[in-house]
Structure 1
Amino acid sequence: MKLIEEELKRSFLFFWEAANRKLNSPGYGLVVDNSAKPQMASIASVGFGLSALPIGVERQYITYDQGLQAARETLKTLLRIPHFEGFLIHYVYLDTGKPKSGVEYSTIDTAILLNGVITVDQYFSDPEIHECFQRLYLRVNWSAFVFEKDGRSLFRMAYNPVKGGAYRQKSDSPWIWQWDMMAEQLSLYFLAAGSDQISAETAQALYQGFSRNRGSFGGYDYVYSPGNSLFVYQFSHAWLDFHRFVDATGFDWAENTKIATYGNREWCIQHKDQYPIFSENIWGVTSCLTPAGYRGQGVAPNDSLTHPNGHSDGVVAPCAPAGSLPYAPEIVIPALEQLAAQYPKSFGQYGFTDAIALTEKGLWISPDYIGIDKGITLLMLDNYLHQTTWKLYMAHPMIQKALNKLGFQEKK
């Protein structure tokens, strides 16, 4: 457990030290997206960074007053970040808060950000923070990103008015894709359901609107995401404690994540001859840095036309097992311990680096850290040990309202 506690502390320090902490800076509180590009922040990193603050206070890494000030000033910054119908732009410059040219207004990244805002609102119970929460949350026009397709109510993924910009190299429409499949967007339905703008009927239609395809690999059967990268079973779960609830149909998202985690490990074990980094205790296929840059990777079952049996660049991302710690500690703890023992240089200033690989040139260890990967590591390690984020987020009145509107029930 010493390794888990040390990784927890170092992951927190990433969010404290890789953030803009210059008071009176227009970018105060923004958090680096990729440590290799320290000038650029992502709003998803900020969402994880906000959720890190109560953890830091509770673990005495920072004082209560430090956490309170950081939360207040970060929320003030967020009110100045460009948005479209309340959905924030994906990437901004760390020092100024100005948007990166051509990037999209993202639903999932806004959801992760709002999850962090909700967490600090519940923890600090501060009038100034609550006012900022209200302004950030109430300005979101959920209906603007909802549409009907083939009889289903769906959320759009993103909006980009810049032709030729991100995700619009070939499209004439400013609307970018839709959440029509099981992926990392579950918390989006709770955020919308908590709003008085959205009726219970609409909230339930949106939640039921995405496809739930079942598949299996190595004897592990579960509802899988088309690309089957492990992070999709973790991101919303960092805030939503699905251990306690099932949905109106009785479906158990926590159990689904556990099975997906075992399936991910089994895929790695069965492909250890193809990818020499993999072994019984060294596994984890997710989106992460690779020797070729940041890449999406996933296991089978998989709907990819080019990689129907799954695909890896032969890298292991420590955040992959770490993000599943509360769901499968019996296989995650040995994995993290083996990584630290076998590849000690993968454990650096901010804990585990983003990824490692065995290549033709030898051992490759990413020198860089990714904000969302450190974020899922931090929140899930703490949820396993202390449940800080789960307790705060699930207690927020808006989330309580969403649970009721969506028909989620406490497990018996």
Structure 2
Amino acid sequence: MKYLSWVAVIAILFAFSCTQNKQQEDNTGVLDRISDDSLMTLVQYRTFQYFWEGAEPNSGLARERYHVDGNYPENDQNVVTSGGAGFGVMAILVGIERGFITREQGLERLEKIVTFLENAETFHGVWPHWWDGETGKVKPFSDKDDGADLVETSFMLQGLLTVRQYFREGSEREKALAERIDKLWRAVEFDWHTKGGEDVLYWHWSPNFGWAMNFPVTGYNECMIMYVLAAASPTHGVSPDAYHKGWNRGGAIKNDSSHQAFGHHLALRHNGAEQYGGPLFWAHYSYLALDPRGLKDKYADYWQHNTNHTLINRAWCVENPIGYKGYGPESWGLTASYSVKFYAGHAPGENSDLGVISPTAALSSFPYTPEYSMQAMRHWYENLGDKVFGKYGFYDAFSETDNWFPQRYLAIDQGPIVVMIENHRTGLLWDLFMSSPEIQDGLRKLGLESPHLK
């Protein structure tokens, strides 16, 4: 893999500090802008630092959130997140390949993370949504969500499997880390989450409340990776029926062939968002490691589906039927993020578009819409500047309508930016994850096609 030297990184950062988001004139009077390639690297570098410099020190994992002003919810500063940290371990690999850190530094941090995971609370091998980073004890996500979270665990596992593949043929120390990750992967009891053999996976289980949350996971939303991993598990795999009857609802997941929005067809019915496809993280979280290029089954072509989902989301913002300030071809992207009233699942639609742009939506869509994503990134960087861009990259969300520009970050939104820009540039995380023999076996079990299958 090719990557920038530390000299190149310093040059980019120097350019940023000199321009402070303003265009500069050279001695001919022509405006000289940072190149697209350098801008992508700068955004990756700054965002990567959320998971590097900003990590919780004891565990090495990503903090759930970081507020520049220090105004956190009570007892929240040491909370770490399994899903967002899974995105973060992939960001560390990007950091190594891009020369932001050395391979040795990355290995050392990943060893710390794996040590924490080996000793933190788990439930049938499944991790909770949140831990206390200092103790490894569960921090309940909600009243009854104090145990296993199979979706967030799947987000962590896709990251760990990319790390395993990255180091599996390295030094003895690197091979040892890969073997430790393999033990964590094999310990996850996906079959436990069928609740005794049902043809569906359940999201939560609690040691105190059992299956009380009662959340069978059906599609379509962000959870496809969970079913791929469940089929691929070499120790606790589930039947393909869970995928076909549960996730795909016995075929009912398929949209009518005439279903379109803004001229783009959605092959799958999105849960509660059939018309416009819902928040854009549904096109990101499962596909940070699972390569959607050429990924097909009898339900959808997932590359085309995710691309159309992205184009619909952008088209809504361009048409801007509600008339929010700042929306347009250069500023688009609706997804779950911080909102003017704390947090919301922003999406196209009169009831779900609240006038809040979430930069992760467009930036994590680089593989699907590279020109449109670059257009948005350059506009925010050059024209909004430090209103939206800080020490860890673009802030989580903003609203020009409400003149709302909070300096806050969320791990689960920052991680996809680093990873998906890299997948657009080199395919790094996709190639690593898809090289896993178990993943290839799992895709075959489910009837999925991929160019990665040998």
- For structure 2, the 5+ residue unaligned runs are 1-35, 169-173
Deviation at 1:250, TM superposition (A): 6.7
Which of 328, 353, 356 matches 2:398? 356
Deviation at 1:320, TM superposition (A): 0.2
Residues 347-372 of structure 1 deviation map (CA, whole Å, 9 limit, x = unaligned): 11111111110244xx2112111101
SS in 2 for 1:88: coil
SS in 2 for 1:343: helix
Q: What amino acid does structure 2 have at the position aligned with 1:10?
A: R
Deviation at 1:173, TM superposition (A): 5.0
Matched, 1:236 2:286: yes
Which residue in 2 is equivalent to 1:66? 105
Distance 1:401 1:137 in 2: 15
Which residue in 2 is equivalent to 1:78? 117
Distance 1:81 1:148 in 2: 26
Deviation at 1:203, TM superposition (A): 5.7
SS in 1 for 2:61: coil
Aligned pair count reads 386
Which residue in 2 is equivalent to 1:175? 213
Distance 2:241 2:177 in 1: 29
User: Which one has the bigger strand percentage?
Assistant: 1
Give the conservation status (yes or no) of the 8 Å contact 1:19–1:31.
yes
Which residue in 2 is equivalent to 1:395? 435
Give the conservation status (yes or no) of the 8 Å contact 1:147–1:153.
no
Which residue in 1 is equivalent to 2:358? 317
Which of 301, 326, 331 matches 1:277? 326
Matched, 1:212 2:260: no
Residues 350-395 of structure 1 deviation map (CA, whole Å, 9 limit, x = unaligned): 11111110244xx211211110111011100111112111111111
Residues 145-190 of structure 1 deviation map (CA, whole Å, 9 limit, x = unaligned): 11599xx821112123456xxxxxxxx9523312122010111111
Distance 2:446 2:181 in 1: 22
Change (3 A) 1:366 1:8: same
Give the conservation status (yes or no) of the 8 Å contact 2:165–2:432.
yes
Which residue in 1 is equivalent to 2:426? 386
Change (3 A) 1:174 1:204: closer
Which residue in 1 is equivalent to 2:150? 107
Which residue in 1 is equivalent to 2:348? 299
Deviation at 1:218, TM superposition (A): 2.0
For residues 222-233 of structure 1, the aligned pairs below 5 Å read 222=266, 223-225=268-270, 226-227=272-273, 228-233=278-283
Deviation at 1:251, TM superposition (A): 2.3
Which residue in 1 is equivalent to 2:23? none
Change (3 A) 1:162 1:216: farther
Distance 2:283 2:63 in 1: 23
Give the conservation status (yes or no) of the 8 Å contact 1:148–1:154.
no
Distance 2:451 2:435 in 1: 17
Provide the identity percentage. Answer: 26
Residues 115-165 of structure 1 deviation map (CA, whole Å, 9 limit, x = unaligned): 11101111111332233222211121112111599xx821112123456xx
SS in 2 for 1:191: helix
Change (3 A) 1:200 1:213: closer
Residues 190-231 of structure 1 deviation map (CA, whole Å, 9 limit, x = unaligned): 111112333664465355447525343222220242241110
Distance 1:229 1:250 in 2: 20
Distance 1:61 1:411 in 2: 31
Deviation at 1:277, TM superposition (A): 2.8
SS in 2 for 1:154: coil
Which residue in 2 is equivalent to 1:20? 56
Distance 2:150 2:299 in 1: 27
Which of 109, 112, 135 matches 1:96? 135
Matched, 1:159 2:205: yes
- For structure 1, the 5+ residue unaligned runs are 22-26, 164-171, 301-308
Deviation at 1:236, TM superposition (A): 0.7
Matched, 1:245 2:295: yes
SS in 2 for 1:364: coil
Which residue in 2 is equivalent to 1:4? 40
Matched, 1:29 2:60: yes
Residues 91-122 of structure 1 deviation map (CA, whole Å, 9 limit, x = unaligned): 11222222214544211100001111101111
Distance 1:240 1:159 in 2: 25
SS in 1 for 2:153: helix
Change (3 A) 1:279 1:394: same
Distance 1:120 1:383 in 2: 15
Distance 1:313 1:14 in 2: 27
Distance 2:101 2:379 in 1: 30
Distance 1:283 1:234 in 2: 16
SS in 1 for 2:155: helix
Q: TM-score, normalised by structure 2?
A: 0.80
Give the conservation status (yes or no) of the 8 Å contact 2:218–2:247.
no
